[in-house]
Copies of this chain bind each other. A is one copy, B any other.
Amino acid sequence: MAKSNLDLVDDCDSFPYYQSDPATYFASISTYYQLRVTNHDYAVGYVLPSVAEIFRGLSDWAIDDDERTLTLTAGTTEAERSHIVARTVVAMRETNHFQVLQEWRNELYPVYGRGRELLFNVERCASPLLGVVTYGIHLTAFVRSKDGSMKIWIPRRARNKQTYSGMLDNAVAGGIASGEAPLESLVRECAEEASLPEELVRERAKACGTVTYYYIRDERAGGETRLLQPECQYIYELELPEDVVPKPCDDEVEEFYLLSIEEVQEVMSKAEFKPNCALVMLDFFIRHGILTSENEKDYIEIISRLHRKLEFPTL
């Protein structure tokens, strides 16, 4: 059955909302453990009970089953905390506790406190175990024909990719490593994923905001399901000249298609997009007046949902 645009939002922004359904929200969070850092009186992520269980008895961590907290008790600086977190997740990888840790990236993701200070870094593949906010960039590349109509460059992910294989994607997308600026991440990924020249990207790519959502991982993400993944994507768009054709430079993309708006909307309704990429397309359609209050009955709801205020500190 064809998915509505709100269905697509529900598929990605799947964590319940306090605002619309407090009962379901509280029933849901009461099953998780808050991830905390000692002397910081708030959650930086939610952890599944099955994950928290593995931390029980570890010397640098404390579990409070009444308060439902998992607290990093040791370390007073970012460096000390990052070191302990690294030691913990390396040990968990070696003992094969979690499938997600088999996709080790050797790339650190940042976790921030309420003062926007860096609390610690964590290996990328371990971030969904901790349920912390992760950051990325997504770029929509498009061309305008002489008649004014718009076409959008849409890549298909490689069939052998471990996550969301064969699904449609945004032209360029990737995670932002700790210490990397969004624009630098964009420039790097544009070269790697679409062979777009640095000068072109720096000159023409336009920042257009963020898309934030709270995803509950399913089997397509690989590894354990039900892990909690709050995410913030920095959004860019790039109008390409008709003679610039994005080409895969690494093996993550199978092929680029140049699709009309109607064609993109059709494949979206068939759920052919990676879930968060469909949200980025919706944000593009809203910004460009393609989706309006006249043709989208869930307009107000969708716009709020694409810009979720997360429960955790963000950068």
Determine, out of A47-55, A86-94, A268-276, A301-309, the stretch whose residues face the partner at the interface: A301-309
Please judge, given known A-B contacts A18-B19, A294-B183, whether A210 and B299 are in contact too, CB under 8 Å: yes
Would you call A286 an interface residue if the criterion is a C-beta within 8 Å of the partner chain's C-beta atoms? yes
Q: A208-B289, A234-B293 are in contact. Are A308 and B304 (CB under 8 A)?
A: yes
Contact of A182 among B17, B20, B293, B309 (CB under 8 A): B293
A207 at the interface (CB under 8 A from B): yes
Contact A303 B209 (CB under 8 A): yes
Residues of chain B contacted by A209 (CB below 8 angstroms): 286-287, 303
* Least distance between A93 CB and chain B CB atoms (Å): 30
B234 contacts A309, C-beta separation under 8 Å = no
Query: Which of B17, B208, B293, B307 sits near A304, CB closer than 8 Å?
Result: B307
Write the nearest CB–CB distance from A163 to chain B, whole angstroms. Answer: 24
CA distance A294 to B181 in the complex (A): 8
Copies of this chain, whole number: 2
Q: Which residues 290-315 of A have a CB within 8 angstroms of B? A: 292-294, 297, 299-301, 303-311, 314-315
Interface size on A, residues (CB 8 A): 38
Please, how many angstroms separate the alpha-carbon atoms of A18 and B22 in the complex? 11
Please give, as numbers and ranges, the residues of chain B lying within 8 Å of A247 by CB-CB distance: none
User: Is A288 engaged at the interface, CB distance under 8 Å to the other chain?
Assistant: yes
A212 within 8 A of B: yes
Q: How far is the CA of A18 from the CA of B122 in the complex (A)?
A: 27
Bound-state Cα–Cα, A206 to B314, Å: 31
Instruction: Return chain B residues, CB-CB under 8 Å to A292.
Output: 183, 207
Contact indicator A306/B309 (Cβ below 8 Å): no
What are 17 pairs between A and B in contact, CB < 8 Å? A17-B309, A19-B311, A20-B311, A181-B294, A182-B294, A207-B292, A207-B293, A208-B287, A209-B287, A209-B303, A210-B299, A210-B303, A210-B304, A287-B287, A301-B314, A304-B307, A304-B310
